[in-house]
């Protein structure tokens, strides 16, 4: 953008493989000279990471990080819905409709991702298990990365949208099919989520905003 006029970059577009369905993007601001764009795909279980040229806007694809393993999918399928960087840019959050998962990634100093938590928003009467793996490895020649997760039980299945408070201490999740808003506390040491409360919202909420 020059003098408040939007012009096409060079090149003017990039493309992902057919069927990925890129939905939303989050862009870093702290990685001077090596900014990243994180693209959440709606139809394939990956976040695609691009290097962003600050001068031209050109996107160079680097690699893909898995959101949810296929064996965690529901019969109705999985659909990526929202992706947001924490104000500190230390953590990245993505949501999945289907299992109703909020996935938490740690962002390293060079913008690479390590997944540290998956919070399921699925109602269940069964006990859940907790498995935590912290894995970070060299990806110079790796196009796809599979990493394991922490799973916790919360309260819904269709997180259409979420937003963070300006302080970065709270997350608000719109559960469209449950007519609910989930409120999570964000741990300021590791970025993980713990549910504080659930609020009725009898309007099939598809968006939640802070003004």
pLDDT value at position 204?
93
How many C-beta neighbours within 10 Å does residue 195 have? 17
Instruction: List the chain domain ranges.
Output: 22-157
How many Å apart are CA 195 and CA 29, to the nearest integer? 28
Beta-carbon contacts of 21 under 8 Å, excluding residues fewer than 6 positions away, are: 41, 42, 43, 44, 80
Domain 22-157 has CATH 3.30.390.30: no
**Residue the block writes with tokens 């409360």:** 197
Q: Pick 186 or 134 by higher pLDDT.
A: 186
| Cβ(95)–Cβ(131) below 8 Å | no
What average pLDDT is seen over the chain? 80
* Residue whose pair of structure tokens reads 């394939």 in the numeric block: 44
Question: How many residues appear in the chain?
Answer: 211
Residue 49 contacts residue 142 (beta carbons within 8 Å)? no
Tokens of 39: 């693209």
Give the model confidence (pLDDT) of 106-139 as tens digits: 898 889 888 787 766 543 322 233 333 333 333 3
Q: Considering only CA atoms, which of 12, 85, 14 is closest in space to residue 51?
A: 14
Looking up tokens 């990245």 gives 92
Indicate if the pLDDT at residue 74 is higher than 80. Answer: no
This prediction's pTM? 0.83
């Amino acid at each position: 953008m020059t003098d408040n006029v939007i012009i096409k970059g060079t090149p003017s577009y990039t493309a992902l493989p057919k069927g990925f369905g890129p939905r939303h993007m989050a862009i870093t601001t702290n990685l001077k000279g090596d900014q990243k764009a994180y693209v959440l795909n709606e139809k394939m279980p990956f976040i695609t990471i691009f290097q962003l040229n600050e001068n031209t806007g050109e996107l160079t694809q680097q690699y893909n990080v898995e959101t949810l393993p296929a064996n965690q999918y529901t019969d109705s399928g999985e659909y990526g819905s929202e992706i947001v960087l924490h104000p500190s840019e230390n953590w990245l959050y993505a949501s999945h409709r289907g299992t109703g998962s909020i996935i938490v990634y740690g962002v390293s100093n060079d913008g690479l991702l390590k997944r540290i938590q998956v919070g399921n928003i699925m109602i269940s009467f069964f006990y859940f298990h907790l498995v935590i793996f912290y894995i970070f490895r060299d990806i110079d020649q790796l196009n796809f990365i599979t990493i394991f997760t922490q799973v916790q039980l919360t309260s819904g299945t269709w997180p259409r949208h979420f937003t963070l408070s300006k302080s970065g201490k709270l997350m608000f999740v719109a559960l469209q099919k449950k007519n609910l808003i989930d409120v999570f506390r964000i741990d300021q040491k590791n970025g993980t989520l713990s549910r504080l409360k659930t609020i009725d919202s009898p309007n099939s909420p598809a968006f939640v905003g802070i003004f």
